[in-house]
């Protein structure tokens, strides 16, 4: 489900398929968002390019912007994100911000993992873990974001 205001995407979340609409949206922004989501799941999109409007604290918005800049297959730790936004000791705050993101998938929380390389807080078969598996299956090796300098590796993610 994707929600917009007059200028940008303001919310998105995963909903059961029976609640999802299969019709093509008449709205140009929503139609573009749907096209990009389809391209993502077809393995043809590296990064979403949509206007996003965040409603949160300055810290949360900094975190969400940093994470939204990650490309397909780029995995970083909570500490990497904290350093990237100039708050090197705020890894727990980053985790809290990621848990509160109102814009699922477009702010790819699944690409932020623990310092030990494991997906934190994801139960087996959760959407988050399934998105990690999806991206890893389509990458020869996970990409790195130099500004984040992640130490996470594919094997450390525990995904086969």
Question: What CATH number is associated with residue 147?
Answer: 1.10.10.10
Domain that holds residue 74: 58-157
Measured at the alpha carbon of residue 122, what is the angle toward residues 54 and 68, in degrees to the nearest 5?
30
Residue 156 is predicted with a pLDDT of 40
Residues 74 and 119 reside in one and the same domain = yes
Residues 111 and 69 reside in one and the same domain = yes
Residues 69 and 133 reside in one and the same domain = yes
Chain segment 44-64, per-residue pLDDT in tens: 999 999 999 999 999 999 999
Is 49 inside any structural domain?
no
Residues 91 and 37 reside in one and the same domain = no
Residues 92 and 153 reside in one and the same domain = yes
Residues 140 and 87 reside in one and the same domain = yes
Residue 17 is predicted with a pLDDT of 73
Is 95 inside any structural domain?
yes
Residues with pLDDT less than 70, the chain: 18-23, 140-160
Chain segment 88-100, per-residue pLDDT in tens: 999 999 999 999 9
DSSP state for residue 111 in the 8-state scheme:
G
**Number of domains present in the structure of the chain:** 2
Residue 38 is predicted with a pLDDT of 94
Strands 9-12 and 2-4: antiparallel
Beta strand spans in the chain (E): 2-4, 9-12, 76-77, 112-113
Is 151 inside any structural domain?
yes
Residue 16 is predicted with a pLDDT of 80
């Amino acid at each position: 489900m994707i929600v917009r205001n007059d200028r940008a995407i303001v919310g998105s979340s995963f909903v059961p398929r029976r609640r999802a609409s299969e019709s093509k949206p008449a709205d140009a922004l929503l139609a573009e968002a749907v096209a990009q989501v389809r391209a993502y799941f077809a393995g043809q999109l590296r990064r979403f390019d949509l206007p996003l409007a965040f409603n949160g604290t300055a810290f949360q918005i900094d975190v969400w912007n940093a994470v939204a800049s990650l490309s397909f297959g780029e995995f970083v730790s909570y500490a990497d994100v904290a350093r990237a936004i100039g708050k090197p000791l705020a890894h727990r705050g980053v985790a809290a911000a990621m848990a509160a993101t109102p814009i699922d998938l477009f702010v790819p929380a699944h690409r932020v993992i623990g310092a030990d390389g494991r997906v934190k807080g994801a139960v087996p078969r959760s959407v988050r873990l399934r998105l990690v598996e999806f991206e890893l299956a389509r990458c020869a090796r996970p990409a790195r974001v130099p500004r984040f300098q992640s130490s996470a590796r594919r094997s450390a993610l525990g995904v086969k």
